[in-house]
Structure 1
Amino acid sequence: MGSIESSGAEVVTVDVHTAKGLTHAGHVYLDVRTVEEFEKGHPDVDKVINIPYMFNTPQGRVKNADFLNRVSSACNKEDHLLVGCQSGMRSVSATGDLLGDGYKNVRNVGGGYLEWVKNQLPVEASVANA
């Protein structure tokens, strides 16, 4: 078992190839992009969950006030989570929030979905791309 840090929550970032390997080892890929972004394409892995960290509104992006509640209803605090977004910005914030909320095994996916695609890793789309 790894050591548990009791002090500040430090976000650990892994690259997309490491993330893909970890999904084969049972890690859950938590995609924090909007539903629309997720449906256009997401990593094709065994366990993927889409819980938006932010919503698009006419005023711009707004943080999802229910994010931590939604994650806690889908995952346990001991689950191994890989947090990914479009380019790696939202996922850093989401990972920090999860660590601050007591999740112990959370990692940020560096570069997000754009990096995943750039590295030609498998993707799945829920809707046809127009």
Structure 2
Amino acid sequence: MAPPHETSAAGSESPVPVVTVDVAAASDLITSAGHRYVDVRTEEEMNKGHLHNSLNVPFMFVTPQGKEKNPLFVEQFSSLVSKEEHVVVGCQSGKRSELACVDLLEAGFKNVKNMGGGYAAWLDNGFPINTPPHTMY
């Protein structure tokens, strides 16, 4: 297992170190170490498939003007997860979740980790997912 590495958001005045773990490490943390998983993809993305027992707090919304940051993200996240809980944050590829982790760390969350590669890497590794039921018309 590769050790976590730290990254920081580009352009921030005081970089906040984000710990990024690969999907295998994230899977271990979620299934064995009691970490909660919060998916920051849109509701539409979540409806196509998601990790078991994942929570969803969209970091961005798709609007007619393009993607816009959810102005209530930290507030909504705080309503589901305490600042002391151990959390793995993921998105489709790992970029939005990294940005989300920066915001969460700046807001005082102590134990958040970014899942590198995101949901796409989760799928590529064959880890289990929940998918919506298929309907026949």
Is the structural similarity TM-score above 0.5?
A: yes
RMSD: 1.7
- Equivalent of 2:89 in 54, 58, 83: 83
Rate the CA distance shift 1:127–1:40 in 2: closer, same or farther, 3 A. Answer: farther
Equivalent residues of 1:40, 1:128 under 8 A apart:
no
Matches of 1:17 and 1:121, distance apart in 2: 9
Q: Which runs of 4+ in 1 moved over 4 A?
A: none
Matches of 1:85 and 1:109, distance apart in 2: 8
Partner residue in 2 for 1:52: 58
User: Deviations 1:80-120 (Å, cap 9, x if unpaired)?
Assistant: 11010001110110001000100000000000000000011
Higher-RCO chain (CA-CA 8 Å, sequence separation at least 6): 1
Say how many residue pairs are matched: 122
User: Deviations 1:17-70 (Å, cap 9, x if unpaired)?
Assistant: 1111101221011100000101101122xx410000000011110000000000
Partner residue in 1 for 2:43: 35
TM-score by structure 2 length?
A: 0.84
Gaps of at least 5 residues in structure 2 are: 1-13
Name the amino acid aligned to 1:113.
Y
Matches of 2:94 and 2:135, distance apart in 1: 22
Partner residue in 1 for 2:16: 9
Gaps of at least 5 residues in structure 1 are: 1-6
Deviates more, 1:114-123 or 1:8-17: 8-17
Q: Percent identity?
A: 51
